Amino acid sequence: MPPIIIDLYSDNAAPAAPEIMAALTRVNVGPAQPYGQDPESKALRTTFSDLFGTEVWVMPVSTGTAANSIALSALTPPYGTILCSDTAHIETSECGATELFSGGAKLTHVAAESGRMSADALNEVIGRAGKGLQHRSQPAAISLTIGTERGTVYPVSEIARIAEVARRHRLSLHIDGARIANALIALGASPRSVTTDLGVDALSFGATKNGALNTDAIVVFRKDIADELRYRVRRAGQVWSKMRYSAAQLNAYVEGGLWLRLAEQANRTAKRLAEGLGQVPGVRLMERVEINQVFAEMPEKVIACLEADGIVLGRRDQGVRMVTAWSTTTEEVDYVIGRARIHGD
């Protein structure tokens, strides 16, 4: 392997943003009460309540998988099933975490197009799921990934329709926001417009993919769920004793809109990359690029040559995935496009 020059394998390959590193230094002074009893951790709740325009509860956790699976464990009984797209991260990439923390609940798949399940498809699957039948796992919650695993976003109007489906069937609603900042940039929407205003119950608030070091968070919009999650996160081994180091990351992340600026850069470079690659002969974009992921089919020769150039891509069964991050530069994507043009000839 050549030295990595440009890493588009995942936004997780990016380093941490300097503002967030600075926050760690800022709080690394003297003693602080453990387990969230320090001022930095206590400030989280205010910071996020302001962000969502209502009282919320914030629980820092170490990964997005932890956020998803622990949040969902409070939204379903063990005999429940969670409706999600068949490409959802909770289904394909978390090694059964939701099944673990829920005590054996199921995931029921809704066929997705471009990473999104439609409210109609969802409604139909729920209608056939046997609500009230003793032999069937009971529909309990819906989980949607707002910035999807295929690089698209749910329009606010579709989230609203899905929320309406949830209400109609008395299901809880969870948003996997691993890339919520990217989604909000793409939608031009406020945090509350996709959560609070629509009756969302819990949100996995992603930070690591977009500039944090090693923290994400569960944001909860109902006190009863927060009361339960308080113990669920503890017994999941997800309550840091030195919580200030997570809280500082999260506070710095949203302060002054940093998170949105970081995501804006990732989205912009992804769009530029897509537009450039889309004009390379033999390259075909597989999905609309709405956030920071580009899915493209390209000749094996091109892929191999890009890799030889030190560009790291994510090979898939079909085509490649390229993910930009807060730290991806215009120069980098232009370099990739340029090399692809050369190899594609």
Q: How far is the CB of 282 from a second copy (least distance, A)?
A: 26
Cα atoms found within 13 Å of the Cα of residue 50, Cβ hemisphere only: 9
**Nearest CA-CA partner of 60 in 214, 189, 264:** 214
Phi, psi of 339 (to 5 degrees): -65, -40
- Shortest reach from residue 215's CB to a second copy, in Å: 8
Nearest approach in angstroms of CB 321 to a second copy is 13
104, 158, 222, 315, 327 from 321: Cα distances, Å? 32, 25, 36, 6, 17
Q: How many residues bind a second copy (CB under 8 A)?
A: 78
Q: Decide whether 206 or 344 has the Cβ nearer to a second copy.
A: 206
Rounded to a whole number of angstroms, the minimum distance from the CB of residue 71 to a second copy is: 11
**Considering beta carbons, is residue 33 or 330 the nearer one to a second copy?**
33
Q: Which of 51, 82, 97, 119 binds a second copy (CB under 8 A)?
A: 97
- Indicate the SS3 state at residue 137: coil
Distances in Å between the Cα of 191 and the Cα atoms of 106, 328, 345 are 29, 24, 44
Integer Rg of the chain from CA: 20
Binding residues for a second copy restricted to 199-258, rule: CB under 8 A: 208-209, 213-214, 228, 230-232, 234-242, 245-246
**Of 232 and 271, CB closest to a second copy:** 232
Applying CB under 8 A, which part among 68-76, 186-194, 256-264, 301-309 lies near a second copy? Answer: 68-76
Output 52 or 326, the one with its CB closest to a second copy.
326
- Contacting residues for 93 by C-beta, under 8 A, at least 6 apart: none
**Distance, CA of 102 to CA of 183 (rounded, Å):** 27
Q: How far is the CB of 196 from a second copy (least distance, A)?
A: 25
Between 94 and 201, whose beta carbon lies closer to a second copy? 94
Q: In the chain, count H helices and then E strands.
A: 13, 13
d(CA 198, CA 208): 25
Which CB, 16 or 175, lies closer to a second copy?
Answer: 16
- 26-65: contacts with a second copy (CB under 8 A): 28-35, 61-65
What strands lie across the sheet with 320-323, from one edge to the other? 284-285, 293-297, 320-323, 314-315
Q: Which of 44, 56, 58, 67 binds a second copy (CB under 8 A)?
A: 67
**All residues at 6 or more sequence positions from 284 whose CB lies less than 8 Å from its CB, including other chains:** 296, 297, 298, 319
Query: Within positions 123 to 182, which residues make up the interface with a second copy, using CB under 8 A?
Result: 128, 134-138
Which residues inside 1-30 make contact with a second copy, applying CB under 8 A? 4, 6-7, 9-10, 12-16, 21, 24-25, 28-30
Smaller CB distance to a second copy: residue 103 or 282?
103
User: Among residues 50 and 227, whose Cβ is nearest to a second copy?
Assistant: 227
- Residue 147's φ and ψ, nearest 5 degrees, are -100, 105
Strands 138-145 and 284-285: unpaired
Q: How far is the CB of 73 from a second copy (least distance, A)?
A: 8
Rounded distance between C-alpha atoms, residue 249 and residue 95, angstroms = 27
Between residues 12 and 330, which has the closer beta carbon with respect to a second copy? 12
Does residue 310 bind a second copy (CB under 8 A)? no
Instruction: Provide the token pair at 135.
Output: 């032999």
Closest separation between CB of residue 149 and a second copy, Å?
12
Q: Which of residues 71-90 bind a second copy (CB under 8 A)?
A: 77-79, 81
259 makes contact with a second copy (CB under 8 A):
no
